[in-house]
Structure 1
Amino acid sequence: MSDPQLYTVGWICAIATESVAARAFLDEEHDGPSHVAQHDNNSYVLGKIGRHNVVIAVLPDGEYGTTSAAVVAQGLIHSFPNVRIGLMVGIGGGTPSSKHDIRLGDVVVSSPHGGKGGVFQYDFSKTIQNVAFQETGFLAQPPMVLRTAISSLKSTYELRGHHLADEVERALKCIKKRKKYARPAPARDKLYKPGAVHPIAANSYDDTCDIAYLVARDDRDEEDDDPAIHYGLIASGNQLMKDTRIRDKLVIDKGVLCFEIEAAGLMNHFPCLIIRGICDYSDSHKNKEWQGFSAMMAAAYARDLLRQIPPNKVEAERPISEALHAIKHKIDRLQQTTAATSADRRTDKIERWLRPPNPSTNANHARKLHHEGTGVWLLEHPVFQDYTTMLDHLAKRNGRLILSFFFDFSDEAKKTVDGMLRSFVLQLYQGETDSARALDASFQAHRDGRDQPSTKALSDTLFTMLAAQEQVVIVLDALDESTSRDELLRWIKDTVSRQGLSPIQLICTSRPERDFQFDMPSLMGEENSLALDKQSVNVDIRSYITAQLSERRDFRDKRLSPEIRDEIQRKVGDGADGMFRWAFCQLDSLARCRHEAAIVDALASLPPDLAVTYRRMIESIPTELKIDAMRLLQFLVHVERPLTLAEAKEVIATQIENEPRRFDVKRRLYRDADVLDYCPSLVTIVHATDDELHLAHFSVKEYLLRENKFNIINASSSITSTCLTYLTDIKGSHPGIKQDFPMARCAAEIWTRYAVFAQASKDVARAIVNFLENEETFQRWACLYQPDRAWDRDPGLPRGSQLYYVCYEGLVEPARGLIAQGADVVARGGECGNALQAASLRGHQEIIRLLLNKGADVNAQGGLFGNALQAASWKGYQDIVVLLLKKGADVNAQGGEYGNALQAASWKGHQEIVVLLLNKGADMNAQGGFFGNALQAASWKGYQDIVVLLLKKGADVNAQCGEFGNALQAASSEGHQEIVILLLNKGADVNAQCGFFGNALQAASWKGY
């Protein structure tokens, strides 16, 4: 099998005819690729032309247009990351004119013309006569090395002529069905006058069109190349051009030589040259007679062109994958703050004063969840392309002029205009622009931050700061998740109409809700108010469903029949109607089905909308969990902030349904993740500084608020009763309110908001007052709510090891205080071994820096994970891994359950960290821990990309060690068939005896694989 890294030229074809022609001109054909990217569904032909290794990809059968081309191109560059130049080679419609004698079989090569890079994108509403076109995008030029080669080849053809027709004749010998690809008789090349319309029902234009409509043309003479090569502008859209009037208008106005339907999907994401053999004249007289020969001519020219280019010129080009990465960063810039946090103490004071929400957390979460290969249609949208062109322009002048904010229903600070304004003024301030003085003045006016600014004061400050900018882009995402919509719309109106501001470009996104559908077009302009294309979204949803059926263990282990898989893809994919949340919920429900009959029944009665979906989810909650689940959902609908997982577990452990009401410590869940069993698909765990429980989607909250048991009157009674029971019980049973009761403060917050609805008795209210009287003491030690009881229970911890728990919780200021009081930063003990390992496991980077600066041993051994590097690698905290390595962590240190850092990262599937550790000298064959080595860990968990990487780096495929004996047995025991095949192809011994199961056959047989 061929190594994808060896191929530097990417060649894309739209149809099988073009692919056959391309293969016929390969000097040699290679074996297929050894592996491709995980979500790449393309098929490839590999070979060589001259001294270049070429990969040929063809669009899926029956799929055409810019979107399909872009998806194929993305798959190609993910699977062949070293591809540096691209070609789109195939057929197109010619545009004959008095200036250009274009005939069937000729070749058109994209070349700059009229200020365009060789290809421009247009669109038109219909493909019949008498309709208008609209130019919708400016597309990038092909790489310089290709343009230089074109110039060289063009001069050669001028001097000596070309011999492409002869090359086609020789190449035909490689094709069995060569008649389709041979040149038709010259009499079969007929050009009709623009007014001639070919009837749709006719099979060919010869039997229907009057000969009077034919255009008379002289034969080409001996000085003319025949077929001829033309250089100029190619027009690309998503539908075939069949209208001669529009065709001729574009010829006159733009100088177009050819029409086609794929290039626009490539040029800005796959920099390439477009080469088209002319098979028709872009009119209604379509036939396929010339397609084969025209494809052969285009391929012949492409081969001549590649032979002009020295390999070192190609190697000097940047890989296209890097270019695509740069394009994706344009989207990232819409979702990121535009300046790094300044270390200046005054900036820190300003930030502490404003306490603004951080929009980057939403952007990072979105990138983490993004399904590879989706969203391509958005990149191609003409308005988006114009927008990114403008961003490029701004970036060259000043990269700090993009402000972004993400409204988020699950984050109190991100629901309001006030939070948005605080974020914007800090973003501008951190940009170190001249406008920073306005915020400094506001800070001083508010008694150096002792007073908080009003929303109006923040808005006035922001407008003052914006007035000092030359041009600003403001991105507002998810307007519908704002709880202050009227105020937000007033602010937008004020912004777009305010005098004295430099140009402000505003981009907003929202669900199509009435407020915004009614007001936004009048504010932004009808032409700037766009609806997402549901069909394009549905394509992305189907891609996601296909991947889930292949990758999600709940489906993979069921070994679904092809018929069931097809039914799921059809019913869930086609039924989504552009709503990903609906499709996600149906997949989640199907994944929990225990047998095929249940899946069939579920597919037969899919809910029509989200409301019915959520009702069924609630009905499906097990009876023994339902009471607690309802109460937990009530909390999540109405609390001012998300619940921490520790608080959620306290809610469940508090019993108010039966007498006596009490808080039962023994009903605390063992594992945080078990909270999700109470409300599957309705809630989710978000990993932030602390793990938090949120409603899974804002539509969940909308639905629950419409249900009687979740309205404010009914829910507040239950919430308040829970809080009062909790506070009263811990006050009476646990004098002094021990710090291991995490919901104590939360309960007080909620009670003060909802007590009025509960009509609590004076006696119970007095208990709350008593609690609040101790608030100062409670606040001082609330950060240590885990320790006291834990220290007593854990004999492995020395007395006074509060520092361990503070570091585990990520509490920076208490950690500093304890260290200042003499806490031992190198003390050992506890499940995590020491404070540094605890902080590394939880991802608390600031605490890690503090501990290391205070003398913590970066290589200290002990605990479940052995050392800090292994803990961070297991959790996937790449920044912390980099920090620990920089501070001297031993990349090959052994210890703990997982053996070493490389094995821990491989077991959890953190490929970026695996690569990082290998680059820092990690021994991929090091043995130790439960799994024995990294290859066995990755094989057992099914991380094929990591298995491929380790084998490529020299991992021993037959190494014997660990619980499962070897990698083949580990993969066989979990049914990872692709990895089993890969290991066998790499020489794994199928009969090796070792490990828990004895051999691979026994391992696979044990679970029925």
Structure 2
Amino acid sequence: MSGPLAPTQASALYQTQTSKFIEAIEVPLGKLNQGLDTKIQDIRKWIGAPDPSTNFTAACNKMTEGTGFWLVNDKKFQEWKSQGGLFWLQGKAGSGKTFLCTTAINTLKGSGKPVFYFYFDSLDSSESKTKYEGLVASLLTQIGTHSKYDHTDVESLYKDNEQGHTKAPAHNMKITIQETLKKCPETQATYIFLDAMDECKNDNQPKVKNLVQDLLMLQNIHIFVTSRHSGFVSTGWNMSLDSLGGNEDILVHINKALTSNESFKGLEEEIQAELLEKADRQIRWVDCQLTSLQELGTKDAIRKALQSLPTTLEDIYDHALKSIHKYHVDEAKHLLQWILFSHQPLTIKNVIEVLAIDLKRQTVNKERNEQLGDNLHKIISSTIVVITQDEDNEKKVQLAHPSVKEFLIERESGHSDKIHVEETLAHIFIAQSCIIYLLHIVQVESVEMAHAKFPLTWYAVHYWAMHVEKVENLDEEITKLVMSLLKFQNHILNEILCWDKPDHDEKESCVASVSSDSALYYASLRGIGVGVIVRLLLAEAEADVNAQGGEYGNSLQAASYRGNERIVKLLVDAGADVNAQGGEYGNALQAAAYRKNEGIVKLLVNAGADVNAQ
């Protein structure tokens, strides 16, 4: 067992390790090295796992140099490192668990040990980093295709799923991980880190716990978990940040901020004393206070602020919302609705477009706030929303911390009445915004120009229907907007709506279906997020459920091929002919059978589909 690091060694190691791993090891999993075997590339692409290295890199970039080393020097950590088993690190929101986990990952990677990790992330707009399926997919990608581990089992799983043409169930991925680890030599230790387990969806957490317990039954497995909650197993090493007396990392963080900011000169001891006394081991709380204090212009103002510091993160966030200028309230609310409920991270260009959409006049303003990146903090405090930069140097707008999301969603409306976000209303707002945006861009000369000139086009095309689908009862206003989009006859708009069809023939079929007023076929062809829209077309527009046309012949065959059981049932209940002939696969049953969708096959057979039809 290696001994603890001296403080000077730790500080030196921090710089070399962090730069080394960010530049060399932590390349996003999707950007595979050119020398990797083609089959491994195909397998990784097929699994389609969320990329945890983005979280690792973000944490490395945010950490204050010299923090976290007390953990890796701790006796409990050293014992876990050598003996294996479970290490559970518990701490309240904002206590620095992610930074500590990242430091531990860095340290073990620096010693050349096989280290695999996953960051649960409630700010992930795709939600894949909040689900058990995302975890097992990520671990399978990392472990199953690692150069030091046997690839036989993951290759067999790939083969069993028609060389990657069908998705593997999460249970099968878990078994593959276990079988791969069983083949490791007894002397080879495997380290697995799971950060922020409390950010995993509640109904997924039992599966994660079972996975951890099952993996611990294998030889030489070391699992490190961080969470707000206490450990679910009594055995192993448990550490609670809430019960520790020291503030080593917070002190380092405060001193770094004090020495790098001229406005704090002469007040260092006062600021340090007040923040240390009231921090309650929450480095996030300290960071918010420092951000707030450095906005003040005089020493007297800073001293007064130190005597009335908000006591909790919730108080900080509430104050930030109440401080929004009355002329920015609508913009701030619109921005928060998008950030909280969009299906993809928002770029700064997206946000500029979002704030240009005028719902009342149902148009998009010609003027754009091009300097928004420099002025966003004037609209809403950086304790709520921040701008980050990814590995491609693209600026993204996101919530400053998971605790901000929790505060905005779970608090009662009376807390900060002028900024209250309700999920259903947010989805209605985003859906309306997307549709208005799409109807506005018909003025362009080509699809390519639409995407170049209007940066929100891609998002609006892909997700407008999914936001509509989130609303159970559509009011008259949103219903009219949806119908106007589906009935609007414009060739450019038709091509834009079908932009996400990669295959040329499929795209042509989609464009033709929209152009020929067969909106029901188009909705069925999209496959996801259009259940409400199909119901609207059947009820409001009295669409012909058996209309012929398109690559798949009719709406039922298109929906059966796409695999949307809900839409298939809607069409069948509306009187769709389950034995209608035509299209690419002859009939709906053949299309469902080709895609191996047992649920839809059963539904069609029960509805009278002829199993002997050719």
TM range (shorter): 0.5 to 0.7
Tell me, yes or no, if the aligned pair for 1:663 and 1:730 is still in contact at 8 Å: no
Q: Deviations over 1:480-506 (max 9, x none)?
A: 2222x4433333324424798334221
Residue in structure 1 matching 2:302, options 583, 591, 599: 599
Residue in structure 2 matching 1:720, options 423, 431, 445: 431
- The structural deviation recorded for 1:632 is 0.3
- The structural deviation recorded for 1:348 is 1.3
Q: Deviations over 1:187-246 (max 9, x none)?
A: xxxxxxxxxxxxxxxxxxxxxxxxxxxxxxxxxxxxxxxxxxxxxxxxxxxxxxxxxxxx
Task: Please say if 1:729 is aligned against 2:437.
Answer: no
Task: Please say if 1:436 is aligned against 2:147.
Answer: no
Which residue is 1:661 aligned to? 362
Q: Secondary structure at the match of 1:475?
A: strand
Tell me, yes or no, if the aligned pair for 2:461 and 2:496 is still in contact at 8 Å: no
Which residue is 1:161 aligned to? none
- The structural deviation recorded for 1:388 is 3.7
TM-score when normalising by structure 2: 0.65
Tell me, yes or no, if the aligned pair for 1:541 and 1:573 is still in contact at 8 Å: yes
Q: Distance in 1 between matches of 2:74 and 2:10?
A: 21
Q: Kindly tell me: are residues 587 and 383 of structure 1, through their superposed partners in 2, closer, same or farther at Cα, counting changes over 3 Å?
A: same
Q: Kindly tell me: are residues 761 and 358 of structure 1, through their superposed partners in 2, closer, same or farther at Cα, counting changes over 3 Å?
A: closer
Task: Please say if 1:738 is aligned against 2:450.
Answer: yes
Aligned AA (1:530): M
- The structural deviation recorded for 1:628 is 0.6
Task: Please say if 1:354 is aligned against 2:47.
Answer: yes
Q: Secondary structure at the match of 1:622?
A: coil
Residue in structure 2 matching 1:768, options 468, 485, 507: 485
Tell me, yes or no, if the aligned pair for 1:337 and 1:404 is still in contact at 8 Å: no
Which residue is 1:543 aligned to? 252
Q: Distance in 2 between matches of 1:386 and 1:372?
A: 25
Which residue is 1:475 aligned to? 193
Task: Please say if 1:640 is aligned against 2:343.
Answer: yes
Q: Kindly tell me: are residues 715 and 731 of structure 1, through their superposed partners in 2, closer, same or farther at Cα, counting changes over 3 Å?
A: same
Q: Secondary structure at the match of 2:386?
A: strand
State which drifts further: 434-443 or 643-652: 434-443
Q: Distance in 2 between matches of 1:498 and 1:407?
A: 18
Aligned AA (1:692): K
Q: Kindly tell me: are residues 325 and 662 of structure 1, through their superposed partners in 2, closer, same or farther at Cα, counting changes over 3 Å?
A: closer
More helix by share: 2
Residue in structure 1 matching 2:385, options 658, 670, 683: 683
- The structural deviation recorded for 1:599 is 2.5
Q: Structure 2 matches for 1:524-923, cutoff 5 A?
A: 525-526=234-235, 528-532=237-241, 538-552=247-261, 556=262, 558=263, 560=264, 562=266, 564-656=267-359, 659-681=360-382, 682-688=384-390, 689=392, 690-707=394-411, 708=413, 709-731=420-442, 738-739=450-451, 740-756=453-469, 757=471, 759=475, 760-769=477-486, 773-775=494-496, 778-779=499-500
Tell me, yes or no, if the aligned pair for 1:443 and 1:449 is still in contact at 8 Å: yes
Q: Distance in 1 between matches of 2:10 and 2:65?
A: 14
Tell me, yes or no, if the aligned pair for 1:338 and 1:403 is still in contact at 8 Å: no
- The structural deviation recorded for 1:780 is 7.8
Task: Please say if 1:508 is aligned against 2:225.
Answer: yes
State which drifts further: 528-537 or 586-595: 528-537
Aligned AA (1:722): S
Task: Please say if 1:410 is aligned against 2:123.
Answer: yes
Which residue is 2:573 aligned to? none
Tell me, yes or no, if the aligned pair for 1:748 and 1:768 is still in contact at 8 Å: no
> Which has the bigger relative contact order, CA under 8 A and spacing at least 6?
2
Aligned AA (2:241): L
Which residue is 2:550 aligned to? none
Q: Kindly tell me: are residues 408 and 675 of structure 1, through their superposed partners in 2, closer, same or farther at Cα, counting changes over 3 Å?
A: same
Tell me, yes or no, if the aligned pair for 2:132 and 2:207 is still in contact at 8 Å: no
Q: Deviations over 1:504-550 (max 9, x none)?
A: 221111123xxxx3xx33x3x25522212665663321321222122
Which residue is 1:200 aligned to? none
Tell me, yes or no, if the aligned pair for 1:404 and 1:475 is still in contact at 8 Å: yes
Q: Deviations over 1:862-915 (max 9, x none)?
A: xxxxxxxxxxxxxxxxxxxxxxxxxxxxxxxxxxxxxxxxxxxxxxxxxxxxxx
Aligned AA (1:548): A
Q: Kindly tell me: are residues 728 and 439 of structure 1, through their superposed partners in 2, closer, same or farther at Cα, counting changes over 3 Å?
A: same
> Percent identity among equivalent residues?
24
Structure 1's unaligned 5+ residue stretches are 1-137, 141-267, 272-318, 782-1009
Q: Secondary structure at the match of 2:361?
A: coil
Which residue is 1:382 aligned to? 75
Q: Distance in 2 between matches of 1:673 and 1:578?
A: 32
CA RMSD of aligned residues (A): 3.7
Which residue is 2:610 aligned to? none
- The structural deviation recorded for 1:389 is 4.1
Tell me, yes or no, if the aligned pair for 1:404 and 1:424 is still in contact at 8 Å: yes
Q: Secondary structure at the match of 1:374?
A: coil
- The structural deviation recorded for 1:613 is 0.6
Q: Kindly tell me: are residues 582 and 349 of structure 1, through their superposed partners in 2, closer, same or farther at Cα, counting changes over 3 Å?
A: same
Structure 2's unaligned 5+ residue stretches are 85-103, 414-419, 503-614
Tell me, yes or no, if the aligned pair for 1:534 and 1:577 is still in contact at 8 Å: no
Q: Secondary structure at the match of 1:778?
A: coil
Residue in structure 1 matching 2:141, options 426, 439, 444: 426
Tell me, yes or no, if the aligned pair for 2:373 and 2:387 is still in contact at 8 Å: no
Q: Distance in 2 between matches of 1:323 and 1:369?
A: 17
Which residue is 1:50 aligned to? none
Q: Kindly tell me: are residues 527 and 744 of structure 1, through their superposed partners in 2, closer, same or farther at Cα, counting changes over 3 Å?
A: same
Tell me, yes or no, if the aligned pair for 2:317 and 2:404 is still in contact at 8 Å: yes
TM-score when normalising by structure 1: 0.41
Paired residues in the alignment total 449
- The structural deviation recorded for 1:408 is 1.9
Residue in structure 1 matching 2:5, options 262, 269, 282: 269
Tell me, yes or no, if the aligned pair for 2:275 and 2:286 is still in contact at 8 Å: yes
- The structural deviation recorded for 1:748 is 3.6
Aligned AA (1:501): L
Q: Kindly tell me: are residues 475 and 647 of structure 1, through their superposed partners in 2, closer, same or farther at Cα, counting changes over 3 Å?
A: same
Q: Kindly tell me: are residues 767 and 745 of structure 1, through their superposed partners in 2, closer, same or farther at Cα, counting changes over 3 Å?
A: farther
Q: Secondary structure at the match of 1:530?
A: strand
Q: Kindly tell me: are residues 350 and 763 of structure 1, through their superposed partners in 2, closer, same or farther at Cα, counting changes over 3 Å?
A: same
Q: Distance in 2 between matches of 1:343 and 1:417?
A: 27
Q: Distance in 2 between matches of 1:669 and 1:327?
A: 38
Q: Distance in 1 between matches of 2:324 and 2:458?
A: 29
Q: Distance in 1 between matches of 2:423 and 2:78?
A: 46
Larger radius of gyration: 1
Q: Deviations over 1:418-450 (max 9, x none)?
A: 122112112123323563111111112222112
Tell me, yes or no, if the aligned pair for 1:410 and 1:642 is still in contact at 8 Å: no
Q: Structure 2 matches for 1:274-313, cutoff 5 A?
A: none
Q: Secondary structure at the match of 1:640?
A: coil
Q: Deviations over 1:926-963 (max 9, x none)?
A: xxxxxxxxxxxxxxxxxxxxxxxxxxxxxxxxxxxxxx
Aligned AA (1:482): C
